[in-house]
Structure formats: structure tokens, C-alpha cells
Amino acid sequence: MALLAQAFEGVRIAIGALRTNLLRTILTTLGVVVGIFVVVIMGWLLQGLDKAMNDTISLFGNDVIYIDKFDWSGQVRWSEMRNRKDITMKQAEELQSLMTTPQTIAPMARQQGETVKKEGNKVTDIIIIGTTSSYAAMLGDAVTSGRFLSPVEDHYRQNTAVIGYALALSLFPREDPLGKTIKIKGRSFTVVGTLKKRATFIFKDVDNELYMPLRSFLSIYGSSTSLTIGLKAGSEERLADVRSEAMGVMRNVRNIAPDKKSDFGMNEAQQFRDQIATFRLTVWAAGIGLTALSFIVGVIGIVNIMYVAVTERTKEIGVRKALGAPRRSILFQFLVEAATLCLLGAVVALALSSIVMISVTSLFEWASFLPSFVPLHLLATATLVSLFVGVVAGFLPALRASKMDPVTALRFD
């Protein structure tokens, strides 16, 4: 009860001191403001990165392995991978017939930088993917209108296409794309389905993809492209089984001697986690460095202003002691005052970071992966950190105040 009254009093004194010495207060709390600002912005970026990572992982599927000539992790030299033999349709079919653990197997072929035309309209830089109806399992619920490619279309090499969100929007800004005809390399294709918006911060191109039956693809681009084979395990628990079976079968299919390294990559969405982790670490390190620096400046500022406040109010401390204030009350009063200063700094910092967040996310398209408001846990963190800094910075000045000799303090002018 008494503590609460004293806390309120401390807050009131701090605000009063702030008003009478506005400029001094602003200057001395600047470090705390910058510190909290950096903490909040850093947390915001990390939260955005985590979301981008999770989006990316779910885009690729967390239970899917992609067998490819190339290793996507960046750990194998490009010159080595480039000279590997292509993964052929025959190998894909063999693998498909030999493997038992995956839920679904879908071979894919890919061609970048293509142009898709429609009467009076043309979109460039499109990624064409040839695959089978099985690939639907890997898309999950991404098909928003129409349907995915059917086994019949695949088998009879029919010219049907499923188009990504951005492509659909560019080709058919005002009409329903379903049933419409588009042209690829002079051949007509019928749109049978469209996909939802799937682009992530890391993979921005996926909405400019077009899916067609694998056999149609091969008849256009020839059978010389190397395939990617998607293996969907069905659940993350079964991933390990699929991984080891795929490794054995694929080595077999590609006739690799037991003492030789595999000449293909087994790529999984989890690998992106490692790549993002590095980026995350960079943000952390930069953020922690800046934060530490500004908090050191901030603590020095608060320590200073509190020593000045204690000296200026020596007489007041003497009076309070004469009236019966115990040491802990004086200590508490100045701690509350320092914490209030830091809390006010945090409020300013939160206001500033909110402005930055709202501006960045509304002005820049690429920033759409970031939250557009201060996340609640950052609000709590900022508050706690500022209280902590206040208490740490205020401690020595408050201790000096609490230990003052009342007679000496009363005589102070």
C-alpha cells in the first residue's frame, strides 16, 4: 500500500522533472529511445524473416524431397554439378516403379524465361513447369479455381495449363481465365485452373509459373532437360524412411558404384531454414551490437541525469528523511523515477518504430512479409527492457540518495 503510493509519487515526480527540464530529459533519454527502437525494429525484422521462412517451407512442403541433378543447399560446387548426367524420364519412371515409401511421386521439368501470349496480350519471364497429375498433392490447397492437370491430359499429351496467381492477373485482368486459350511457343493451351497467391519473400517468382502436362512439355522443349522428381512422404515422420529409400533406389537407377559419391541432390524445404538462419544471425548481430551501444549510451545518460536529480534534491531528501522516510523508500523513489524516464523513452521509441513499420510496409511491395504493426511480444519486451535499464541505471544514484546523512542533507542549499 505504502509502496504503491510511493510508486505513484515517483512517477509523478519523474513526469514533473521531465516537464521542467524538457531538453535535458530528451537528450539524456535519447540513448534509451534509440536502444528500444533498435530492439523493436530488430524483433520486427526477425519476426518477418521467420514468417518468410515458414511460408517458404510450407510452399515447398515440409514432407517433400526433391531429387535433382543440382543440390540446392549451395554446398556442392556448381562446376561439379553442371557436368552430372541429366535425370531422364526413364530414370524417373524406374524410380517410381521401385519406390514404396512415398505417398506421391511427381516428376517435373522446368523452363524459365518463357513468353505466354493471349489475344492482344503477352507476358514474359514465365516459368513453365511440365509435370503429372500427381503434383496436385504437393500443391495442397493452392488450386483456387478450376482444377489441376488430370491423368488423362497427361497421358494423351493434351494442351491444358494451370496458371499462377500473378500470371492469371496479367493475362486476364478483367475476365475469368478458366476455359480461355493462351499460346506458348505458337501452340494453343486451354486454362483449366488457377493458383492462389503463394510468393514468399525468398521465392517471389512462384506466382509466375505455368503448369502443363509433362508429355506436352517434352514435346515442346524436347526430352533433353533434366528432370526433378518430387517425393511426398505424407508426413514429416515418414520423411527419414523416404529419404533413405530414395537414396538407395536412385543410386541404383543411376548405376553408382558403392564407393562413389551420389551424382544428384536430395533437396528438402528444411534446407531453407539453414540459409535463413545465417541471415537471421546477421540481423541479430547487427541489432545486438547497435542495441548494446545505444543502451550503454542510454545508461550513461540516465545515470547522469539521476545523479544530477539526486544532487538537486538533496534538501528534499533531507526533509523526507526527517519526516521518517526509511532508506528503502528513498531508494525506491529514485528507482521509480529512473524507470519512468526509461519507460517514457520506450513510449517514444515505440511511437517512432510504429511510424517506420507502417511506412515501410505500406510504401514498399517487398516488405509485405513484415508485420505492419508493433507485435505484442515486442511491446512487452520494450517495456520490460526499459524498466530493467531504468532500474540498473538508477541504482547507484538512488543508493547515494538513500544513504545521505539527514542532517547534512537538510543543511544543503
The residue ranges that bind other proteins (CB under 8 A) are 1-2, 5-6, 9, 13, 16, 315-316, 318-329, 405-407, 410
C-alpha–C-alpha distance, residues 383 and 373, integer Å: 16
Cβ 408 to other proteins, closest distance in Å? Answer: 10
Distances (CA, A) of 38 to 46, 282, 283: 12, 14, 11
Beta-ladder partners of 230:
66, 106
β-partners of residue 65 are 231, 268
DSSP 153-174: HHHTT--EEEE-HHHHHHH-SS
Nearer to other proteins (CB atom), residue 10 or residue 130: 10
Give the span between the Cα atoms of 287 and 37, in whole angstroms.
10
Q: Closer CB to other proteins, residue 260 or residue 328?
A: 328
> Which of 323/376 has CB closer to other proteins?
323
Cell 544543503 belongs to: 412
CB of 16 vs other proteins, minimal distance in Å: 6
Q: How far is the CB of 311 from other proteins (least distance, A)?
A: 16
Shortest reach from residue 347's CB to other proteins, in Å: 23
Least distance (Å) between residue 386 CB and other proteins:
25
Alpha-carbon span 138 to 149, nearest angstrom: 13
Rounded least distance, CB 32 to other proteins, Å: 24
Closest to other proteins by CB, 185 vs 328, is: 328
Instruction: Indicate the residue among 5 and 376 with the shorter CB distance to other proteins.
Output: 5
Q: What is the distance between the alpha carbons of residues 181 and 88, in angstroms, rounded to a whole number? A: 30
DSSP 63: T
Three-state DSSP at 374 gives: coil
HEC string for 305-341 = HHHHHHHHCHHHHHHHHHCCCCHHHHHHHHHHHHHHH
Nearest approach, Cβ of residue 370 and other proteins (Å):
45
DSSP tag of 227: P
Nearer to other proteins, 283 or 319 (CB): 319
Strand, helix or coil for residue 142: coil
H-helix or E-strand containing 266? strand 265-268
In angstroms, give the least distance from the CB of 19 to other proteins: 11
Our CB check for other proteins shows the closer of 254 and 313 to be 313
Closer of 8 and 364 to other proteins (Cβ): 8
How far is the C-alpha of 334 from the C-alpha of 51, rounded, in Å? 42
Cβ 309 to other proteins shortest distance, Å: 13
Asked if 115 and 127 count as a contact pair (C-beta separation under 8 A), the reply is no
- Using the 8-state DSSP alphabet, how is residue 45 labeled? H
Residue 247 or 410 having the CB closest to other proteins: 410
Q: How many angstroms separate the CA atoms of 154 and 202, rounded?
A: 31
